[in-house]
Structure 1
Amino acid sequence: MTEMRRFEGHGVLISGAARGIGAATARRLAEEGAQVLVTDVDLAEAERTAASIRERIGACAEAFVCDVGDRASVEAAVAYAVDAFGSLDVLVNNACGCTPDAPLFEDEPDEVWARDLDLTLTGAYRCCRAALPHLVASGRGAIVSIGSVNGIQDFGNHAYSAAKAGLTSLTRTLAGHAAARGVRVNLVAPGTVRTSAWEGRDADLAAVREVYPLGRVGEPEDIAAAVAFLASRDAAWITGTTLCVDGGLLAVNTGFRQAVRGHGDA
């Protein structure tokens, strides 16, 4: 458990927080003193995550059902957080949708495209819109969205990648709008992270690991640590930025280096 207490008394809302990166972020911020609202469409799993935080950390954590695809649901979650914690100081946009691509681009259904963009990009927009007045009122408001290296470089998944790229752009434009109101807006772009999406795919993860310069895939806690930094006062002079937490994936072409190894550098 971290000894830092950067979020003492802060009210935090995290979307898609029942498991994976969202749950790890809820635990990390709670360890640092935050009061955390674990929101998700899966209320039972969100309640288990919140209960685990209360039992293991002794922090204030509550669960609330929230569908980021529904404006009323988002507004209800924000109102609940403000009422429960007295303020909303940090919003973490983690909920997303990622549907496997059709074999041919021209066979992609409209509904798949629309769903992934709605959950990943428009869902974050809905959360930011509902939360922003409260983040302004707190005097220390911060938004951190979970993007992806997919929004920066081609790793497949057309709709998901386009949505994550849009979230990177929204981070910049909202940062410009919110700066004068005292709210910082940043984004973490993870590479491959070991979550339930990879369950039962150990061989695939082992193969993927080989392309990462640091020799491993990410863990949810790696991303949670980056979110905690950007949401904290340690990042008080940082806004509108994308922080890649990707084991060096975007910086180093590991495949190329391996191809020319023994033949001199190109």
Structure 2
Amino acid sequence: MTHPQTARFAGHAVLITGAGRGIGAATARRFAAEGAQVLVTDADLGRATATAADLKSALALRCDVSDRASVEAAVAYAVAEFGRLDILVNNAHSCHPDTPLLEDQGDEEWARDLDVSLTGAFRCARAALPFLAASGRGAIVSIGSVNGEQDFGNHAYSAAKAGLASLTRTLAGDAAPRGVRVNLVQPGTVRTPGWDGREAHLDRLARVYPLGRVGEPEDIAAAVAFLASADASWITGTTLRVDGGLLAVNTVFQQAVNDN
């Protein structure tokens, strides 16, 4: 997938969590291609380093969003290296599979998914906000999920993503007086490394998407870049669906009605 090689983010400094692969890595590539300096962070330093190595004006750092000190160190590192921080992308997440019965679900897995996917975004926003406000063009874009709006399984992950959509709205109101915009991208199924070895599943899932395919990481990166850019300067507190029409059109129902 190609996109215009513009300098829309020249002079911008961006911090992305969970950027070692998948959506986070694609987002790092997109910002770098448009002129930004990018701090690629991930709990796996090897993955972060591999992503940053292919980009110009990019650095890698290990960041565990479940640890306040790690988050604050990442923000401080970005500001020290780049001299500023303009954009925060909250992409890090955790998703444990559901147990067959809800009563078999352990507290640890539930807590981990909420801590990384929801509280981790709060920790990052808390640490970054003073610097985003100082930049004069600060933006936070978080990666949600259609799971936060409709039942697609994964109780804890879904609850965390629903909470992240709410946090986006409340944080947008809190940050607006300081000139910082806060928005959420809500993806459907995206072809990330988490689906490796299950390509047949993706082929079947593509049939329920009105646009006839699952998403690619670059689809989400393009939406993140838009919401972070000056093109979206009057947009805050919004959730942007990037889901191939999944939530708008009940393809399975239509097929059942029309089935002869």
1:184 aligns with 2:181: yes
SS of residue matched to 2:54: helix
Question: What does 1:41-190 correspond to in 2, within 5 Å?
Answer: 41-53=43-55, 59-190=56-187
Give the structure 1 partner of residue 24 of structure 2: 22
> Take 2:199 and 2:137, find their aligned partners in 1: how far apart are those partners?
41
Give the structure 1 partner of residue 224 of structure 2: 227
Identity %: 75
- What is the TM-score when the length of structure 2 is the normalising length? 0.98
Question: How far is the alpha carbon of 1:260 from its aligned partner?
Answer: 1.2
1:251 aligns with 2:253: no
SS of residue matched to 1:144: strand
> Take 1:262 and 1:37, find their aligned partners in 2: how far apart are those partners?
51
> Take 1:49 and 1:9, find their aligned partners in 2: how far apart are those partners?
21
> Take 1:47 and 1:187, find their aligned partners in 2: how far apart are those partners?
26
Could you tell me which runs of 5 or more consecutive residues in structure 2 were left unpaired when the two chains were aligned: none
Give the residue type in structure 2 aligned to 1:16: G
- What is the TM-score when the length of structure 1 is the normalising length? 0.96
> Take 1:51 and 1:9, find their aligned partners in 2: how far apart are those partners?
20
Question: How far is the alpha carbon of 1:6 from its aligned partner?
Answer: 1.3
Question: How far is the alpha carbon of 1:4 from its aligned partner?
Answer: 2.1
Q: How much is the aligned-residue C-alpha RMSD, in angstroms?
A: 0.8
SS of residue matched to 1:133: helix
Question: How far is the alpha carbon of 1:3 from its aligned partner?
Answer: 2.4
Give the residue type in structure 2 aligned to 1:52: D
**1:95-151: per-residue Cα shift (whole Å, max 9, x none)?**
000000000011110111100000000000000000000000000000000000000
- Farther-moved stretch of structure 1 (4-13 vs 126-135): 4-13
Give the structure 2 partner of residue 56 of structure 1: none
Give the residue type in structure 1 aligned to 2:171: L
Give the residue type in structure 2 aligned to 1:121: L
Give the structure 2 partner of residue 37 of structure 1: 39
Aligned length: 258
Give the structure 2 partner of residue 214 of structure 1: 211
